[in-house]
Amino acid sequence: MTKQFDLFFVQRFKGKVLFGVPMSDYTSIRIGGPADVMAFPQDEADLADLLTFAASKNFPLFVLGRGTNLLVRDSGIRGIVVNMNEGFKDMLWVEGEKAISGAGVMLAGLLKECEEKGLGGLEFACSIPGTVGGAVVMNAGAYGGEMKDVVEGVEVLNRKGKKGFLTASEIDFSYRATGLPKDAIVIRAHLKFERKDPAAIAAKIKEFRKKREETAAVKYPSAGSVFKNHGLEPAGRLIEEAGLKGCSVGDARISDAHANYIVNAGGARARDVLGLMALVRDRVYSTRGIVLEPEIKVVGED
């Protein structure tokens, strides 16, 4: 495997490539074993080449945004992690109110541009870390807003490097999920905003940030909310009612500030977080008869 990698990466691939990198360096919760290979495609052609190469050798692939919704298991990820954070930072404004944003653009950067241009619609995202690509795939949202409200469509490459475009209805957005084909890599999102008074945009952002005080108090690394809300029942409240605030397995701990956050209080491993998640699910089921569904994505090998 290494020789084939060497040839491809030396002769053809333009981006950076790293071998055996700890995924704990690439996830917000600072947990995760090594990735065999991490490749940073420089542009669409570079990514298409990488995909064709990986498909021809049957190498598995995992696509990484900013790793803010991820738990990588302790033995890491086999195959190639495609890091979208270097090559897909392009941003094109069209017709005044529309943007075509590279998947690697940070959501916060996009929101800042919207604010400067007096374009509303993305204010809900003011405290969501991560990339535009990750936000679309997760249908990230808060305070009643979600990505589906601003996405018109996405440019994608499939695992063979073939390009396509999917409209919002084809993306099939739902609560913190999309029906995107499993092999689709989002390379750009086509977004639509609405003209708004910049002062009103700033006021909305201020209001939403104030509501974040609880989670802003989470001082240790995390991956945000671990479980999805159950209908109108916030997962955090169910966990708190089950008496689990502050509970821990190893260095993985249910945050005292927000019960739906599991934090890494130092040297937590993925197996600690998974143990704590299992405990939460059991306890909430036995107290309320509700099966909590994870919001975070768990990937890699034990």
Ligand X SMILES: Cc1cc2nc3c(=O)[nH]c(=O)nc-3n(C[C@H](O)[C@H](O)[C@H](O)COP(=O)(O)OP(=O)(O)OC[C@H]3O[C@@H](n4cnc5c(N)ncnc54)[C@H](O)[C@@H]3O)c2cc1C
Within residues 109-128, the interface with ligand X by CB under 6 A covers 127-128
Does 56 participate in catalysis according to the annotation? Answer: no
Q: Is 65 in the site for ligand X (CB under 6 A)?
A: yes
CA distance readout (Å), 193 to 71, 93, 135, 186: 32, 11, 16, 20
Helix (H, G, I), strand (E, B) or coil at 98: strand
Check if the beta carbon of residue 91 is closer than 8 Å to that of residue 99.
yes
Residue 295 falls in the annotated catalytic set: yes
Q: Quick one: 274 or 283, whose CB is closer to ligand X?
A: 274
Interface region with ligand X, contact rule CB under 6 A, candidates 62-70, 110-118, 234-242, 244-252:
62-70
Point out the catalytic residue in the list 30, 176, 188, 269. Answer: 176
Residue of 225, 253, 269, 283 marked active site: 225
Residues constituting the chain:
302
Return the bridge partners of 11, or none.
Answer: none
Distances (CA, A) of 205 to 10, 123, 142, 199, 268: 46, 6, 12, 10, 33
Nearer to ligand X, 54 or 137 (CB): 137
Q: Which residues pair with 18 in a beta bridge?
A: 38
CB 43 within 8 A of CB 155: no
Cβ 196 to ligand X shortest distance, Å: 21
Q: Coil, strand or helix: which one is 215?
A: helix
The CA angle 86-37-273, to the nearest 5 degrees, is: 90
Report the residue number, 103 or 268, with the smaller CB distance to ligand X: 103
Binding mask 131-170 for ligand X (x = CB under 6 A): x-xxx-xx-xxx----------------------------
We find the least distance from the C-beta atom of residue 248 to ligand X, in angstroms, to be 19
Q: Is 178 in the site for ligand X (CB under 6 A)?
A: no
Residue 40 tokens, joined: 């940073």
| Binding range to ligand X, per CB under 6 A, among 8-16, 36-44, 218-226, 277-285 | 218-226
Footprint of ligand X on this chain (CB under 6 A)? 28, 63-70, 84, 103, 127-131, 133-135, 137-138, 140-142, 176, 185-186, 222-224, 297
Active site residues per annotation: 176, 225, 295
